[in-house]
């Protein structure tokens, strides 16, 4: 891991990453939009985060946990979604704040916002005005339930959308035990879809010379990952429900008990089933287990057979045996185990940054890596900055605007 000193980068100096040279204006708060902005920053873009004076992004107050000195505590929630950004605080209800925002818009490639529908219009920055200021601007807008339709006015928070979009009905120990996913997955997915859409619009801009509006929502992001559960309903007419830690269409595939613990296995083909059954003495000719379809139909009996076979082994013994037999398998790690795992470090998934209040801290790292095909050299951005303090970069941002001297 590389320690990076936090400082506002000199924007005349190219930052490593495929989005080097692009500027993203991040007007978002909470998680969905900030996650999208962080993804763009991880790819090398300059990301300027506009915050409310005095309080900043909502997540600066979301805790505990808070860390740092009593008089300057930092929310770990905010730290999770704002690396590789600069911060400027602007009062968008004031003429001065709107004027500065207009200058930033004119110099940006992407503007990201997750206000309620109509808020940006009322501030004087409707889409037509934004494109008057900057015809090449890509506008990413994220809402809870969508930008139009009968429920567009509703506020969207992650857990509400996990329920409304059906995800909670699929998650839990059984049909009567709906559970949310352990991370704010609707927010994260809408941020990912948003960044993906913004990148596509930047690519389109290369052909047309014009920016466009990209819209997504927490509702759309959850429905977008319904995958096979969605087509079970739309095509097969089934209503999928939660069934714990086992797959509804593949068997055996899930979490199984053994001596002193549990392991996960994924037997996703008939070839793997034969290898698995042979390794653990299961009858490959037994009719109710002969095919994947019959194994799914007879799932309770299958689980009982497998857990009886696993009872003689502790988790690590079992994982070694499964690995020797070529069966995909794994343990359930706690997060401290994950971040201590050598494989995680080897993939650049833990980075060290220098925070102006907290000093050297470790953050989960970017999930993408890039390589030059001609040289096989890695071109992933490796220079990262800590999430900024509120308004920490205001002076350098204004100096940059003055230096380029553009007034919309």
User: pLDDT tens, 324-344?
Assistant: 999 999 999 999 999 999 999
Q: What is the mean pLDDT of residues 138-163?
A: 95
Residues near 374 by beta carbon (within 8 Å), at least 6 away in sequence? none
Helix H or strand E segment including 346:
helix 342-346
pTM, full prediction = 0.91
Residues near 11 by beta carbon (within 8 Å), at least 6 away in sequence? 23, 46, 400
Q: What is the pLDDT of residue 11?
A: 40
CB atoms inside a 10 Å sphere around CB 326: 12
Share of the chain above pLDDT 70, in %: 96
Q: What is the mean pLDDT of residues 279-292?
A: 94
Q: What is the pLDDT of residue 16?
A: 79
Band of residue 6 on the pLDDT scale cut at 50, 70, 90: very low
- With 90 as the cut, is the pLDDT of residue 3 above it? no
Q: 218-227, 357-366, 370-379: which range is least confident on average?
A: 370-379
CB burial of residue 152 (10 Å; 0-12, 13-18, 19+): middle
For CATH 3.40.50.10540, the residue range(s) in the chain are: 3-225+341-404
CB atoms inside a 10 Å sphere around CB 373: 6
Q: In what order do the strands lie in the sheet with 46-51?
A: 86-89, 46-51, 23-26, 110-113, 138-143, 213-217
Band of residue 388 on the pLDDT scale cut at 50, 70, 90: very high
Among 225, 220, 226, CA closest to 146: 220
Chain position carrying tokens 């509120």: 390
Please tell me the distance from the alpha carbon of residue 398 to that of residue 101, in angstroms, as a whole number.
Answer: 11
Residues near 348 by beta carbon (within 8 Å), at least 6 away in sequence? 365, 366, 369, 380, 382
Q: Do the Cβ atoms of 2 and 352 come closer than 8 Å?
A: yes
CB burial of residue 229 (10 Å; 0-12, 13-18, 19+): middle
Residues near 178 by beta carbon (within 8 Å), at least 6 away in sequence? 163, 168, 169, 171, 172, 242
Share of the chain above pLDDT 90, in %: 90
Q: Do the Cβ atoms of 68 and 358 come closer than 8 Å?
A: yes
CB burial of residue 236 (10 Å; 0-12, 13-18, 19+): exposed
Three-state DSSP class for 361? Answer: strand
Please tell me the distance from the alpha carbon of residue 242 to that of residue 79, in angstroms, as a whole number.
Answer: 33
Q: What is the pLDDT of residue 406?
A: 58
CB atoms inside a 10 Å sphere around CB 88: 24
Please tell me the distance from the alpha carbon of residue 349 to that of residue 366, in angstroms, as a whole number.
Answer: 6
Please tell me the distance from the alpha carbon of residue 259 to that of residue 251, in angstroms, as a whole number.
Answer: 21
Three-state DSSP class for 358? Answer: coil
- With 60 as the cut, is the pLDDT of residue 12 above it? no
Judge: domain 3-225+341-404, CATH 3.40.50.10540. yes
Band of residue 13 on the pLDDT scale cut at 50, 70, 90: very low
Residues near 311 by beta carbon (within 8 Å), at least 6 away in sequence? 257, 258, 259
Band of residue 4 on the pLDDT scale cut at 50, 70, 90: very low
Q: Do the Cβ atoms of 141 and 114 come closer than 8 Å?
A: yes
- With 80 as the cut, is the pLDDT of residue 33 above it? yes
Q: What DSSP letter does each residue of 57-77 carry, written as one string?
A: SGGGG--S-EES-GGG-EEHH
Cross-strand bridge partners of residue 258:
261
- In degrees and rounded to multiples of 5, residue 319 shows phi and psi of -65, -40
Q: Do the Cβ atoms of 83 and 102 come closer than 8 Å?
A: no
The per-residue pLDDT of the chain, averaged, comes to 93
Q: What is the pLDDT of residue 116?
A: 87
Q: What is the pLDDT of residue 118?
A: 86
Among 55, 43, 48, CA closest to 19: 43
Please tell me the distance from the alpha carbon of residue 302 to that of residue 61, in angstroms, as a whole number.
Answer: 49
CB atoms inside a 10 Å sphere around CB 383: 14
Cross-strand bridge partners of residue 77:
none
Among 85, 5, 1, CA closest to 355: 5
Among 102, 107, 76, 168, CA closest to 355: 76
Please tell me the distance from the alpha carbon of residue 163 to that of residue 374, in angstroms, as a whole number.
Answer: 47
- In degrees and rounded to multiples of 5, residue 89 shows phi and psi of -95, 125
Encoded tokens for 396? 């350098």
- With 60 as the cut, is the pLDDT of residue 408 above it? no
List residues with catalytic annotation: 187
């Amino acid at each position: 891991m590389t320690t990076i000193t936090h400082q506002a980068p000199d924007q005349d100096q190219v930052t490593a990453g495929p989005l080097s040279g692009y500027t993203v204006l991040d007007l978002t708060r909470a998680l969905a939009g900030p996650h999208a902005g962080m993804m763009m920053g991880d790819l090398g873009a300059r990301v300027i985060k506009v915050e409310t004076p005095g309080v900043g992004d909502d997540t600066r107050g979301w805790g505990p946990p808070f860390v740092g000195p009593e008089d300057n505590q930092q929310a770990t929630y905010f730290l999770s979604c704002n690396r590789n950004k600069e911060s400027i605080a602007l009062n968008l209800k004031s003429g001065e704040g709107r004027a500065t925002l207009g200058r930033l818009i004119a110099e940006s490639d992407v503007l990201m916002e997750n206000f309620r529908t109509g808020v940006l219009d009322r501030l004087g920055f409707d889409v037509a005005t934004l494109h008057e200021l900057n015809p090449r601007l890509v506008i990413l807008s994220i809402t809870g339930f969508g930008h139009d339709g009968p429920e567009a006015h509703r506020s969207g928070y992650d857990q509400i959308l996990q329920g409304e979009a059906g995800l909670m009905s699929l998650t839990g120990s059984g049909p009567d035990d709906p559970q949310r996913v352990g991370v704010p997955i609707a927010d994260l997915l809408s941020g990912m879809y948003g960044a993906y859409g913004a990148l596509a619009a930047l690519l389109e801009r290369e052909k047309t010379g014009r920016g466009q509006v990209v819209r997504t929502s927490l509702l759309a992001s959850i429905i977008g990952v319904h995958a096979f559960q969605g087509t079970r309903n739309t095509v097969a007419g089934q209503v999928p429900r939660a069934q714990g830690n086992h797959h509804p269409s593949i068997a055996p595939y899930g979490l199984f008990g053994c001596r002193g613990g549990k392991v996960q296995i994924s037997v996703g083909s008939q070839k793997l089933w034969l290898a698995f059954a042979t390794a653990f003495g299961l009858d490959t000719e037994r009719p109710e287990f002969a095919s994947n379809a019959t194994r799914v139909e007879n799932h309770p009996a299958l689980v009982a057979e497998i857990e009886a076979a696993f009872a003689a082994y502790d988790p690590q013994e079992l994982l070694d045996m499964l690995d020797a037999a070529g069966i995909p398998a794994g343990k359930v790690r706690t997060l401290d185990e994950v971040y201590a795992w050598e494989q995680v470090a080897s993939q650049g998934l833990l980075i060290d940054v220098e925070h102006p209040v907290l000093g050297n801290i470790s953050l989960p790292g970017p999930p993408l890596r890039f390589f030059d095909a001609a040289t096989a050299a890695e071109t992933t951005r490796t220079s990262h900055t800590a999430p900024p303090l509120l308004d920490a970069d205001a002076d350098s941002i204004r100096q940059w605007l003055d230096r380029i001297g553009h007034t919309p």
